[in-house]
Amino acid sequence: MSDNQDLAKLLIKTKEGGQSVSLTALSNAYDEYILELESIPEGAWNVLLGIFSDSTFLGRRGLERFLLEMNVDLPKYSPQQLREFLDVLVTAVSFMSHEIARHAAGDFIARAYSEDVAIRTFKKLASGLPKEKHAAMVGLDVLLRQSDLKQSSAASELLEVLVVSYPEWHAKV
C-alpha cells in the first residue's frame, strides 16, 4: 500500500464489493501500510475509524483482524487516538454480528487500556445489550488473567454477575 489514498480506495472497494471483497484483504493492506511507520497518520486513522463506525463492516467476518493488528502496533497510536477509538469500539460492539469480533473487542479493551479504563468500560458494556455483555464478559476474563490486577475483586464481581445471568442474555445474542 503506497499511501493513504490507496488505502481509502481499497476501503471503498471493500464496502461496495459486499461479501466478495474480504475485510482480511483490507486489514492486510492496512497492516502493510503502517508497518514501517512510527505513528498512525490521519488518513489511515480515518480509514480505521470508518471501518468501526460503519454497519456494513461491523456485520462482516474479519473485523477482529484489525483489533489484532492494532494490538501489535499499539505504541504507534497516540493517547488521543486510543481514547477516540475506545468510544467508537464501545458503540460498535452492539452491531458486531460475529462472535469472534466481540471476543476480540473485549480482549483488545483489556489489553490496550489501563485497568481503571477497562473496568469502567466493561461496567458500561455489562449494563447494555447482549452483544455488549458478551464483549464485557470476555474482556473481564482476559483482565482477570493479568497477574498485577489491583481491582481484581471489582472485576471478579462483575464477571460473576455476567456469568450467572449468561443463559438469560446469551440467548438474545
Crossing angle (nearest 10°) for helices 99-112 and 63-72: 20
- Give me the domain span that covers residue 71: 4-170
Helices and strands in the chain: count of H runs, count of E runs: 10, 0
**pLDDT (tens digit per residue) in 21-58:** 578 888 888 898 898 899 999 988 998 999 999 888 89
What letter would DSSP give residue 2?
A: -
pLDDT value, residue 159: 87
Low pLDDT (below 50) residues in the chain: 1-2, 20
Q: Which residues contact 167 (CB under 8 A, 6 or more apart)?
A: none
pLDDT value, residue 17: 59
Residues 117, 114: Cα–Cα separation, whole Å: 5
**In the structure grid, which three cell numbers stand for residue 108, read together?**
483488545
Residue pair 155/149 in contact (Cβ under 8 Å)? The answer is yes
Number of domains the chain is built from: 1
Residue pair 75/64 in contact (Cβ under 8 Å)? The answer is no
Placement of cell 445489550 in the chain? 129
Residues 135, 24: Cα–Cα separation, whole Å: 21
- CATH code of the domain containing 141: 1.25.40
Output the DSSP codes for 119-167.
HHHHHHHHTS-HHHHHHHHHHHHHHHTSTT-S-HHHHHHHHHHHHHHHH
